[in-house]
């Protein structure tokens, strides 16, 4: 059982904690919904059975049932019962107002449970009970209905660095012999690294390629196992520039940040013809980068991604 939820409005940043046994907002029940999966198959003449072509994963409806409690004033000594109940009703109505602002059919919400998050859009405004036994001066039952177009829960954020600048000292530092060279940083070249994915599905990633100390021309990122590559032609990163590639489904993009001019340029048109927006498959993959030999000491490469799960602990 999941005993605590945090719901955040993705636009306003307002958030509420929902608990199982205390506070203004109590969790009664959570229906995490079912994810519709369609297996697309085909067959040829005289084939026994069918061949699996692809798998389509649908949306996830979530329904959260709970109770808002009108909390009693902390000091009731000398108060009449009518005054206590009036303050509880005021507290209850204030809590309803906060919940009404949080849940909007025009704004996404982020649901966090047991260290995982899922994003969805409320399908109706907050639904309150219509009976006096469930909606009165001291408590009110409510229902939140959400549709998650991406039905998977986000888990751990991962970072894999293929080449990066390692700092050699931290300020302040002592006197230095002027006859000796001071090394401020050293480029660490890993070259090829395993991007592990312990989640339940392939995930897109964000690849950041930077130029440090010189130019980087026509960089490419490659899946060692499959040979799939995302590469560029006619593209030069000057010292201080970065190239940010996003490969998530419906998020595919490539942006060149030009440091000297402090502006961003979309460089999708510079992709090579056989480029593939690489995803990190379930289980993981070895990823490497390709740049000209004389530019190896100028490049920094980092890969960022988030594992995703159909079910989480406590569901």
CA 57 to chain centroid:
18
pLDDT value at residue 188: 63
- Judge whether 121 and 17 are in contact, CB under 8 Å: no
Q: Where are the domains of the chain?
A: 4-151, 154-309
Round to whole Å and give the CA distance between 188 and 164: 5
Instruction: Give Cβ neighbours of residue 313 (< 8 Å, ≥ 6 apart).
Output: 114
* Cβ neighbours for 172, distance < 8 A, ≥ 6 positions apart: none
Return the pLDDT at 163: 84
Q: For the structural domain made of 4-151, what CATH number should be given?
A: 2.40.30.200
pLDDT at 82: 75
pLDDT for the residue 187: 56
**158 close to 304: Cβ distance less than 8 angstroms:** yes
Residue with tokens 């999966």: 37
Distance CA 134, CA 138 (A): 9
Q: What is the CA radius of gyration of the chain?
A: 27
Same fold, 4-151 and 154-309: no
Q: Is the pTM of this model over 0.95?
A: no
Domain 154-309 coded CATH 2.60.120.860 = yes
pLDDT for residue 170? 47
| pLDDT attached to residue 32 | 96
**Cα–Cα distances in Å, from 278 out to 128, 202, 220, 255?**
45, 10, 11, 16
At 180 the pLDDT is: 54
Walk along the chain (315 residues) in steps of 10 and give the mean pLDDT of each run. 93 95 92 93 93 93 96 72 82 95 97 96 97 94 97 94 67 53 56 93 96 93 96 95 95 96 95 96 95 89 96 91
């Amino acid at each position: 059982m999941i005993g605590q939820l945090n719901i955040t409005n993705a636009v306003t940043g307002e958030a509420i904690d929902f608990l199982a046994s205390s506070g203004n907002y109590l969790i009664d029940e959570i229906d995490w919904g079912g994810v519709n999966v369609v297996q697309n198959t085909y067959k040829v003449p005289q084939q026994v059975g069918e061949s699996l072509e692809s798998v389509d994963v649908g949306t996830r409806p979530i329904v959260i049932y709970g109770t808002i409690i009108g909390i009693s004033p902390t000091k009731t000594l000398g108060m009449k019962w009518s005054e206590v109940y009036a303050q509880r009703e005021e507290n209850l109505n204030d809590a309803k107002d906060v919940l009404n602002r949080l849940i909007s059919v025009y704004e996404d919400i982020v649901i966090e449970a047991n260290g995982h998050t899922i994003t969805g859009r409320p399908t109706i405004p907050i639904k309150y009970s219509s009976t006096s036994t469930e909606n009165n001066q001291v408590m009110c039952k409510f229902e939140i209905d959400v549709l998650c177009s991406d039905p998977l829960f986000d888990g751990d954020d991962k970072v894999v660095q293929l080449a990066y600048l390692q700092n050699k000292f931290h300020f302040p530092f002592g006197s230095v012999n002027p006859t000796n060279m001071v090394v401020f940083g050293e480029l660490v070249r890993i070259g090829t690294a395993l991007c592990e994915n312990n989640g339940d599905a392939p995930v897109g990633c964000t690849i950041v390629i930077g130029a440090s100390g010189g130019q980087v021309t026509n960089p490419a990122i490659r899946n060692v196992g499959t040979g799939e590559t995302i590469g560029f032609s006619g593209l030069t990163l000057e010292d201080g520039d970065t190239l940010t590639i996003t490969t998530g489904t419906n998020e595919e993009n490539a942006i060149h940040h030009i440091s000297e001019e402090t502006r961003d340029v979309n460089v999708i048109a510079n992709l090579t013809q056989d480029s593939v927006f690489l995803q990190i498959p379930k289980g993981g993959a070895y990823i490497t980068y390709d740049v000209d030999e004389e530019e190896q000491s100028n490049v920094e490469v980092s890969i960022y991604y988030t594992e995703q799960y159909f079910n989480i602990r406590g569901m």
